[in-house]
Structure 1
Amino acid sequence: MDSVAVDSVAVDSVAVVDSLQADSAAVRSPEADLAAAVAALARAIEAHTASTQEDTTATTSGAVLGEARGAARDYSVRIFWALVLLGLSYGIVVTLTWILDRVAEASPKRRLFFKRLVPIARLVVWVLFIYIALRHVFDISAQNLFAAAAAIGVAVGFAAQDLLKNIFGGLVIISDRPFQVGDKISVGGTYGEVTSIGLRSTRLVTPDDNLVTVPNAQLVDMQVANANAGALDLQVVTHLYLPGFIDEEKAKRIAYEAAASSKYVYRKKPIVVIVLDEFQETFITHIKVKAYVLDTRYEMLLMSEITERARRAFREAGLITPGHGARAWVPVHAAQRRADND
């Protein structure tokens, strides 16, 4: 009887303990659920943040690559249009030069005027090309353009001083105009017609049809003799030589008529004949005929025609003989024998 009572008490105790544990578990379950929910939320936030960062990184990389591609494509387009503008400017320069040359040849009286417009037209076209390309094609602001020009000018100034001297010399020649295209000038022992004035050099064509290129820096520093100074006519000096015993008045009259009757002479300006007495192993008469030519291109033709007409008239008048200008030749041994006999 007693053992049955003890077992009953033990069973009741176990049931009470289980009931208490269940009640305790039931009491703690909301807190556990909350902690679990918080932990799950934290894990979800971490996962979302990581995913967002990956997406942001991918988006940023894609945007950077897209901007780089767009910038490269934009610069490619700009370079393309700059090249197109360069070709267009070159075509304009060639066309303007061709038109001005043709107009100059078609208008003899204004030939030099149109010739002088060629270097100015070239300079204007190239300056406009550089400005439009930098300001509008590459979209460089005026402030940045001036700053870049100053920086480039300083850098290039040290690297290419001679080139810059020639360029500034060309600008001085174009602005100051000591000579122009079509003028006959003499510089450094070279005489010829100015055919072109560039930013680096000036080109001359000599009477022998040689093309001479002179750097502009030398032209600015040296003395330049301009024969016609922009005028279409030009004074031509023809030198004639006669024996010292001839009739000067007759020789002057023949020389004057030879110049006045030429088809190349410009009759609106005076013809002057000067007689000089010189000694070159013997006395000779030096005659200078100063006459103006209609066009600078006929300078040598006028000089040749005056010489031919004058020499023909001198022979007809008996002022020169067939042996005029020939030096007497005496064999050395004959001269020596003559000296010994004396």
Structure 2
Amino acid sequence: MAQDIEPGPDQRVVDWLLGTDPAIRWQVLRDLVDAREAEWRGERERVETEGWGAELLSYQDADGQWAGGAFIPGGFSWERFRNEGQPWTATCWALTELRDLGLDPGSEAARRTVRLIGENSRWNHDGQPYWEGEVEECINGRTVAQGAYFGVDVAPIVERLLSEQMADGGWNCERERGSVRSSFDSTLNVLEGLLEYEQAAPGDDRIAGARAAGEEYLLERRLMYRLSSGELVDPEHLQPVYPPRWQYTVVRALDYFRAAARHAGAAPDPRLHDAVEALRAKRREDGTWAVERRHRGAAWISYGEVGEPSPWLTLQALRILGWWEVG
């Protein structure tokens, strides 16, 4: 149950986070306790060999993929997809998780993975090479984020995304099926990719402009509401979940805006207020945030059960609130 408690990270919560996984610890050291860079970088190196990072890497196929496929596992039928739910075990989902975990792009495992995926992985859509992307904005946004993070040249995918921005400022992977309005999900997927790319390869004003327009699409709606009626877009957006997969959540959007503002050296936009308060209201009496739902479908790793305190969500929420409160 949410509770009114003092703002900021409780030391007991920080200690709990530091007792979890290297992927959590290095980000706590960097983002919450302002540790020396050498300290958090040393902890980050352990992601490759310990905890969730090492476990996820252990499931990798000899050809560099996961589950024998790019978007869905090899041999996985659409009938199973409908009956069992979307599987989260294929290559694109594993790479997104490794980026979240903070696997060092310079590590041996990361370099090997990037090379083998480039050689062997093909998109289910039409057999396109993995690092060339495919046709959906959501998928291409995530691929740009992965490629930019792991040091792959994904400029052609970026060019495609820039050409697909809609008149209202956002993106929608239903565009090719006739949609003329952006979606929260697609827009956030693309924004995350463009920010990662801009951080890796700064200097292209077109990317900054595209991000600004996409951000404005979400900010006009205060991250939660319909522009037409002011009603909440989707109650699920307020339910904390990790991993979010392709879906939009308020905590995921706020963490993006935190990262984007830090990249630009900008203050938080006041239109984020309602979203921040919605996040704050989810804080439990013990100072943590809990997973409120799970995505249907197979996954390699469970990062927390529904109703239990989540290290991931607590880390994200505390760094969002810390950023917001400092201004």
Q: TM class, shorter-chain normalised?
A: under 0.3
Please identify the structure whose Cα radius of gyration is greater: 1
Normalising by structure 2, we get a TM-score of 0.20
Higher relative contact order (CA 8 A, sep 6+): 2
State the TM-score, normalized to the length of structure 1: 0.20
Q: Which has the higher helix share?
A: 1
